Amino acid sequence: MKRCVLFLMILLPMMAAAQRDDFGLDFSVEVEKKINKQWSLELEGELRTRNDAKTNDRWSAGVGLDYKISKWLKASAGYTFLYDNNERISYFQANDDEVIDGDVEIGDPKKCARYWAPRHRFDISLIAAKKLIGDFKFSLRERWQYTWRPEYCVSERWSYYTNAYDGKPKTYHEKGKNVLRSRLQVEYDRKGLVLTPFANIDFFNAWSLQKVRYHVGVDWKLSKQHTLSAFYRYQTVRSDDDDNEPNRHMIGVGYQLKF
């Protein structure tokens, strides 16, 4: 137990260095059914919040299939349905005819559209995991994910300079996006220990580095079938026009059932 506490104390300063941005919560439930020695099926549901946990950000439901290639290598594929609470802002441009009395500067917010809309996500992953230093297990996950956003029409948008809805429809065209996610993780996996602390870093690449997520947390094995998880995440965004997310701190709680 002392080693677990020391492990977390070493990793937490890295997260404390992050600046104060948005804050949210993450709740998830996962059910895993082992089909045979190599195949397993997973179902997962998730709810996220934003705006200092006051606004529902999105909920999702997914299904996945895992295949154990060897003791240290696993492949997986999955589909996730995402239902997002979007908040998209338009900005004034240099040639914008709607500038009122010249008081609004270039780059000031103009109109904001708030709406719920679906997205569809497909992914394929390859995960390698092995104990390399004592009871410390290291893993590398390479994941390709494709997200498709259908075309969606918003009936009206909120105008910042009139403090009213503009009554004009706005269509957001369909869009597809490919992302390569590379996650490096370390966990303290000691036999007989019910608590498994872990930390990881997850890179999102789409021709350039778009965002990075840092995690530190612990899995608590209640029994052979039931596991509770808790984690802290810090997300830093460089450019991400698909998810439309800011830098964010997040606290997450999850439950997993295996049978």
Q: What is the pLDDT of residues 195-238, one digit of tens each?
A: 999 999 999 999 899 999 999 999 999 999 999 999 999 999 98
d(CA 86, CA 147): 15
C-beta atoms surrounding 21 within 10 Å: 13
Nearest to 203 by CA among 233, 177, 224, 180: 180
What is the pLDDT at residue 170?
A: 84
What is the pLDDT at residue 81?
A: 98
Q: What is the pLDDT of residues 73-101, one digit of tens each?
A: 999 999 999 999 988 777 654 444 444 33
Note whether 157 and 113 are within 8 A (CB): yes
Nearest to 78 by CA among 127, 116, 37: 127
Strand runs (DSSP E) across the chain, as ranges? Answer: 22-34, 39-50, 55-68, 73-91, 109-133, 136-149, 152-154, 158-159, 164-165, 170-172, 175-188, 195-205, 209-221, 226-237, 248-258
Nearest to 69 by CA among 116, 108, 126: 126
d(CA 245, CA 179): 15
The chain-wide mean pLDDT, for the chain, equals 86
Q: What is the pLDDT of residues 99-158, one digit of tens each?
A: 433 344 445 557 788 889 999 999 999 999 999 999 999 999 999 999 999 998 988 887
Kindly state the average pLDDT of the residues 24-30: 98
